[in-house]
Structure 1
Amino acid sequence: MIPTYNCANYLAQTLESVLSQDPGPEQMQIEVVDDCSTKDDPEAVVREIGKGRVSFYRQPQNVGAICNFNTCVQRSIGQFVHILHGDDFVAPDFYSSYAEVLQLHPDATLIISPSISIDENNRHIHIESPLANKNGVIIDFPKIQAVKNTIHTPTAVVPRRVYEEIGGYYLPLSHTADWEMFFRAGLYGKAVTLDRQVAYYRVHSASDTSRLALTGKNIWEAKYTVDMCMHQLPEKVRAEIVKNKYSHIAGLAHYFYSELAKKEMWKSSLIHAGWNLRLSPRKYALKVYLIAVARYILYGAFKFDRQLLKLKKDIPTAS
């Protein structure tokens, strides 16, 4: 199932990567689910590349990425659902490799692999290492996934029965819904992984995460997701990690504080310094926060920031 929204310039590569290993319509459904694109014509790409093999569904109106993911699940008819973003693609042995894993672990509730991150021009940015596993079964998966998203969506295959049992993607989340969904799938049963990279995840310079970072909503949503996942863990497991549950996202907040300061986006930098202090209250975090306050007062307090003004509605109000 291939969700799209204004990414038709990448869709041909996505479709070709799937069609090159197509076992036939009796074994695989291939469908593009478009979220009412406004800047391109994904249906034309489907006609040209799919040549009748790929079906196309267009939302009657824009529903947002997470609702579109749920539409993909609802429209799927197979036993296993692979949601492949319209700007990502898979290696020539993706589906045969996953079939081999499922033969070894037919009871798996989540099947993943490490990914290769690429830029807009298919250049490799980062190659992930596989999660620690024993004969393919990921060790302590719920404990790991509860506090940090370890999965890129194009690598994840979920049995349809799992979606039917535990539900789909949580709509109130915008950029961490996949994190929480995969946590539930692994918690529900058994998460397994390949030991090699067979999927490509595209990183855009103007991503949704970058937009949310301007207001700190990226960190707010990450914290909300950690809290959701922690609440679902067994009490014994929760007790083992509760002390350091925010360590990873505190590190993310510090990273964005630093990167935004380099761009002289003082208010956004200050927001992330505040999150870093709140999530990891240490002397160093306090020092960073005070520096961010000073910079904002000296350089940014009276600066007209069009980006923040435009995104004022996105500023998180939750505590």
Structure 2
Amino acid sequence: MPPVPAVLPVTETGRPRWSVVIPVHDCAGYLAEALPEVLAQLGGDVDAGRAEVVVVDDASADDPAAVVGRLGRGRVRYEGQAVNRGAIGTFNHCLDLASGELVHLLHGDDLVLPGFYDAVEDALDDDPAAVAAVCRVEDVTADGRPTDVTRSYRRGTGRWTGALGSLAVSNRVRAPGVVVRRSAYEAVGGFSTDLPHAADWEMWARLAAHGPVVFVDEVLARYRRHDASDTSTRVQSGENVRERVTALTPVLAHVAPERRGALRRRALAYAAVFAGRTALQLARRGRWAGAARQARESVRCLALLVRPAPTPDGEPSPTPR
């Protein structure tokens, strides 16, 4: 398990309720879209010491500090990194910096919609045992056009009873729609640096295994897909699917042993469909090289379905005689 983030101790009387920590890398323009809505919802709480907003710059070539200065006007803290740590290293640094009871890791190219923080806080207040809350999220293009919406996992806001089983098959949630209690991050540790593309998926499964998750049945955030993102680069190479398969072992480790075989088969089937669908989407856009790589990964996932499941050390189980 990854080490617990080195979060500085804060007294209960001095701890803010909210920490909104925004990792950025070469997305100052998108940050300028994200910050106003965060401050519209939490600006008064920041002024009262009930919330903190921190932008963590992973050695950007553009100027997020200028955006923070122009739009934050003293309400937003800027933390620059002289050396590029990469996405996961920066996420863990964000956890180190967060002192609030509720931690929202909002990627700099994503957005929250009006009512996000009130709805999530109310949901967590209604279920004090919950370690995290998840809302529905709208996928948008680089210029903000909606393309899809994540599904609803229950009717109305409340405890997501099937969270771990769903998350063991695939990453069913989007990062901007996830809020985690700081105490839960301290208990389960930071994001796994061994999974540069799937670390968030493994983290959500780890949290769901640790305690209950609340589902907020409203679309309250936006996840931006664009060619400059880390995800888009991995899609073009097919690495997104390869790491999805690699991540199955640590993700399924959070599930009871008797459920792992069936969930692994479902996860591989889902990965094959996902890669095949992505191949078609890329082909329609004329991205032939990326489409071919996704198609190849789809076939590999189907081939893995007929192989023995790996043992805990990652090696295939011996074929029964």
Q: 1:3 aligns with which of 23, 44, 47?
A: 23
Structure 1 residue 259 displacement after superposition: 4.4
For structure 2, the 5+ residue unaligned runs are: 1-20, 305-314, 317-321
1:213, CA displacement in angstroms? 2.9
Corresponding letter in the other structure for 1:21: Q
Answer yes or no: is the 8 Å Cα contact 2:150–2:173 preserved in 1.
no
1:217: how far off?
Answer: 1.3
Corresponding residue of 1:149: 171
Q: Match for residue 162 of structure 1? A: 184
Q: Which residue of 2 aligns with 1:81?
A: 103
Instruction: Give deviations 1:68-93, integer Å, cap 9, x for gaps.
Output: 01110000111111001112121221
State the partner residue of 2:37. Answer: 17
Please give the per-residue CA displacement for 1:210-268, whole angstroms capped at 9, x wherever unaligned: 322333211110011122211221123324424323111111222244445553735x5
Structure 1 length normalisation: TM-score?
Answer: 0.82
Provide closer, same or farther for how the CA distance between residues 207 and 36 of structure 1 changes in structure 2, counting only shifts above 3 A.
Answer: closer
Q: 1:261 to 1:85 in 2, by over 3 A?
A: closer
> Cα distance 1:61–1:189, how it changes in 2: closer, same or farther (>3 A)?
same
The structure 2 residue matched to 1:201, chosen from 223, 237, 244, is 223
2:124/2:132 contact within 8 Å kept: no
Q: Which has the larger radius of gyration?
A: 1
Partner of 2:56: 33
Match of 1:300 in 2: none
The TM-score, its normalising length taken from structure 2, stands at 0.82
The Cα shift of 1:270 comes to 4.7
Q: Distance in 1 between matches of 2:140 and 2:109?
A: 10
Residue 271 of structure 1, CA deviation: 4.1
- 1:137 corresponds in structure 2 to 159
Rate the CA distance shift 1:116–1:272 in 2: closer, same or farther, 3 A.
closer
TM-aligned CA deviation for residue 42 of structure 1:
0.5
Identity %: 33
Q: Which moved more, 1:107-116 or 1:230-239?
A: 230-239
Q: Is 1:186–2:193 an aligned residue pair? A: no
AA matched with 1:67: G
- Give the residue type in structure 2 aligned to 1:157: V
1:135 Cα deviation after fit: 5.6
Q: 2:137 matched to which residue of 1?
A: 115
**Aligned partners of 1:261 and 1:93: how far apart in 2?**
38
Count of aligned pairs: 283
Letter in 2 for 1:225: A
Confirm or deny: 8 A CA contact 1:114 1:131 kept in the other structure: no
**Contact 2:241/2:275 (CA < 8 Å) preserved in 1?**
yes
Checking the alignment, whether the CA contact within 8 Å between 1:133 and 1:139 is kept in structure 2 is: no
